[in-house]
């Protein structure tokens, strides 16, 4: 895939896509998110955190997604990407079909593309002040834009701790892997819309990684 690193084009081959779930540091907050999803029929996870393995072809920097029906929505997340020379940080959306999620979380995640912004930061550049970074998202539904999620990344496990629990290669992210690393509870009702905006903000340098995308619902024939 083509990315921008320090304003320079950079191609990174992604061969493995992982979505980490229930990654909160605060157990009470994790329980809140589990309860939030349980309210719409999603079963409790077998382990916390958990790691869903998806097709790498789902990762996209496109500005429009095609989804089946009108039951999907996004979630802003920081994304770790391992390249041969270093690990990078991006911002992405774990866009998921909520109706299917009620009977199969992995299947629901595999149904939707996974948007990621084309700009990346070196993880080394932000590691020293990691907990100050802020995630934010906005959803536009029927023409009305509202704040959907906002909070510090400190609510989720720090990258080092999360990777230490990754069973495939504890303590490291294999080269060519992109990992979505967890999200924040929604402010208000969970739901999608015609546009979703995501941001990872660094107040120490006053810069942000941003991406936005529109969703186009495909007609369900049966």
Q: Distance between CA 122 and CA 141 in Å, rounded? A: 34
Positions of E strands within the chain = 2-5, 8-11, 16-21, 50-54, 59-60, 64-68, 72-73, 76-82, 87-93, 96-97, 114-115, 119-122, 134-141, 144-152, 177-180, 195-202, 207-218
For the chain, what's the residue count? 222
Percentage of the residues of the chain whose pLDDT score is greater than 70: 97
Q: Distance between CA 131 and CA 133 in Å, rounded? A: 6
Burial of 158 (0-12, 13-18, 19+ CB in 10 A): middle
Q: State the average pLDDT over residues 194-213.
A: 97
| Residue 8: alpha-carbon gap to chain centroid | 24
With cut-offs at 50, 70 and 90, classify the pLDDT of residue 101: confident
Whether the pLDDT of residue 222 is over 70: the answer is: no
Per-residue pLDDT tens digits for 102-136:
777 778 788 899 999 999 999 999 999 999 999 99
Q: List all residues 6 or more positions away from 41 whose beta carbon is below 8 Å from its beta carbon.
A: 101, 102, 103
Contact 106, 169 (CB under 8 A): no
List the structure tokens of 174.
């294999």
Sketch the domain layout of the chain as residue ranges: 2-62+69-218
Q: State the average pLDDT over residues 20-34.
A: 83
| Residue 214: alpha-carbon gap to chain centroid | 16
Whether the pLDDT of residue 217 is over 90: the answer is: no
Where do the H-state alpha helices sit in 127-189?
A: 159-164
Q: List all residues 6 or more positions away from 188 whose beta carbon is below 8 Å from its beta carbon.
A: 146, 148
Which of these CATH numbers, 3.90.79.10, 3.90.850.10, 3.40.50.1820, 2.30.30.90, describes 2-62+69-218? 3.90.850.10
Kind of pairing, strands 114-115 and 59-60? parallel
Per-residue pLDDT tens digits for 38-83:
777 777 777 889 999 999 999 999 999 998 878 889 999 999 999 9
Contact 118, 3 (CB under 8 A): yes
pLDDT, mean over the chain: 92
> Which residue is associated with the tokens 């941003």?
210
Gyration radius (Cα) of the chain, Å = 16
Contact 67, 216 (CB under 8 A): yes
Q: What pLDDT does 29 receive?
A: 74
């Amino acid at each position: 895939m083509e990315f921008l690193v320090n304003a320079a084009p950079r191609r990174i081959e992604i061969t493995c896509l992982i979505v980490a779930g229930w990654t909160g540091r605060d157990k009470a907050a994790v329980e809140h998110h589990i309860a939030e999803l349980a309210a719409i029929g999603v079963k409790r996870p077998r382990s916390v955190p958990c790691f869903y393995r998806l097709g790498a072809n789902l990762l996209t920097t496109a500005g429009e997604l095609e989804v089946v029906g009108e039951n999907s929505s996004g979630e802003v997340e920081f994304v770790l990407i391992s390249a041969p020379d270093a690990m990078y940080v991006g911002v992405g959306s774990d866009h998921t079909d909520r109706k299917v999620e009620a009977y199969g979380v992995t299947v629901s995640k595999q149904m939707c593309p996974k948007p990621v912004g084309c700009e990346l930061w070196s993880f080394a550049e932000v590691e020293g002040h990691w907990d100050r970074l802020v995630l934010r998202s906005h959803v536009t539904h029927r023409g009305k834009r509202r704040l959907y999620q906002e909070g510090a990344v400190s609510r989720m496990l720090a990258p080092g701790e999360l990777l230490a629990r990754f069973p495939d290669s504890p303590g490291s992210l294999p080269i060519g892997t992109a990992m979505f690393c967890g999200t924040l509870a929604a402010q208000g009702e969970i739901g999608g819309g015609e546009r979703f905006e995501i941001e990872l903000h660094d107040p120490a340098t006053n810069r942000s990684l941003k991406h936005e995308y529109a969703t186009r619902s495909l007609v369900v024939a049966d």
